[in-house]
Amino acid sequence: MLSITLAGEQAVLLPDKALWLPAHASLLVADVHLGKAASFRRQGVPVPRGSSSAALQGLSVLIERLRPRRLVFLGDFLHAAQAHNPATLQALSCWRQQHPELDLVLVRGNHDDRAGDPPAELRVCCVDEPWPLGPWALCHHPVPQPQGYVLAGHWHPCVSLLGRAHDRLRLPCFWFGAQVGVLPAYGPFTGMHPIAPAAGDRVYAVADDTVVSVPACG
């Protein structure tokens, strides 16, 4: 993990592709895309099973370690309407029963508009962006907001690192500009998109169990 100062407060970047705000006991993740593999299989695309379970198990590990009061999903919690299938909903229900006291907040994203809100029994507070938390404006779309420094997802950001043998490695990353910060996609079955940082932006790549600062050169 790597601790930085952002909007005047401590923010901890986790190699699990999550952000921890200790002053607010809040854990943030973006773009979980639960049920994405199931949605593809419904369309006849043969993709592996287990991505949603892996995402939920990873969240449980973080919850047990950090003991947050609140878990905020920065949009795209469910991938599509097809994610409301028995297997995905059963996995979600079992996961929720393991963390009954945890406050869950979903800041709706574009996929949530199509998928619909999670079932009421999961007790997820669903809100539109921006959702205020301390100096932050929590969003899905990385667009500046007058309410505060934006923390968002949507872009699935990554950086490319060039090796000595001229090989190229793409890594998910955290990207913090002057007014907007973008988290890497948390879901294991999501793509990545290269970013073009501006001068002065801070970029931190996620490599296995480490978060490292990299030059903001794209």
Mean pLDDT of all residues in 76-105: 85
Please state, in angstroms and rounded to a whole number, the distance separating the CA atoms of residues 103 and 79: 21
Please state, in angstroms and rounded to a whole number, the distance separating the CA atoms of residues 93 and 186: 20
Give pLDDT tens digits for 12-37.
999 999 999 999 999 999 999 887 54
| pLDDT over 80 at 165, yes or no | no
**Which of these, 143, 148, 205, 150, lies nearest to 173 by C-alpha position?**
205
Beta strands in the chain (DSSP E): 2-6, 9-14, 18-21, 26-29, 70-73, 103-107, 124-127, 131-133, 136-138, 149-152, 157-162, 168-176, 180-182, 193-194, 202-207, 210-214
**Are 33 and 187 within 8 A, CB to CB?**
yes
The pLDDT > 70 percentage for the chain reads 85
**Which of these, 163, 141, 161, lies nearest to 151 by C-alpha position?**
141
Q: Which amino acid is at 72?
A: V
Please state, in angstroms and rounded to a whole number, the distance separating the CA atoms of residues 99 and 70: 11
Position of tokens 């002053």? Answer: 23
The pTM assigned to this predicted structure is 0.88
What pLDDT, on a 0 to 100 scale, did the predictor assign at position 10?
97
Give pLDDT tens digits for 173-215.
999 999 999 999 998 767 778 998 999 999 999 998 999 999 8
Mean pLDDT of all residues in 165-177: 85
Domains annotated on the chain, with CATH = 2-155+173-188 (3.60.21)
| pLDDT over 90 at 108, yes or no | yes
**Which of these, 25, 65, 2, 29, lies nearest to 188 by C-alpha position?**
29
